[in-house]
Amino acid sequence: MKTLNPFRGRLSRSVMELMESDPEIREQFERLQLMVIKKYMASSKH
C-alpha cells in the first residue's frame, strides 16, 4: 500500500511537521479541509 503513492506520504509528513511547528498553518489547513469537504458534499448531491 505504501508503494502505491509515495509522494502523498512524503507530502503529508511535511504538512504534519509544518502543522506541529506552526499553529496558524494548522488552523489554515483545517479550514481548507472543511471547505474542500463542503464543496465535495455539495457537488456530490447534484
Residues sharing a CB contact under 8 Å with residue 18, sequence separation 6 or more, in sequence order:
25
* CA angle, 30 then 43 then 4, to 5°: 65
Q: Could you report the per-residue pLDDT of 8-42, keeping only the tens digit for each?
A: 677 788 878 888 899 998 899 899 999 999 999 99
Q: What is the spatial distance between Cα 40 and Cα 32, in angstroms, rounded to a whole number?
A: 12
Cβ-based neighbours of 2, under 8 Å, separated by 6 or more: 9
Predicted local confidence at residue 13, as pLDDT: 84
Give the model's pLDDT for residue 31: 94
Q: Quickly state the pLDDT bin for 1 (edges 50, 70, 90).
A: very low
Which residue in 17, 19, 37 sits closest to 28, CA to CA?
19
pLDDT at 7 over 70: no
More confident residue, 5 or 40: 40
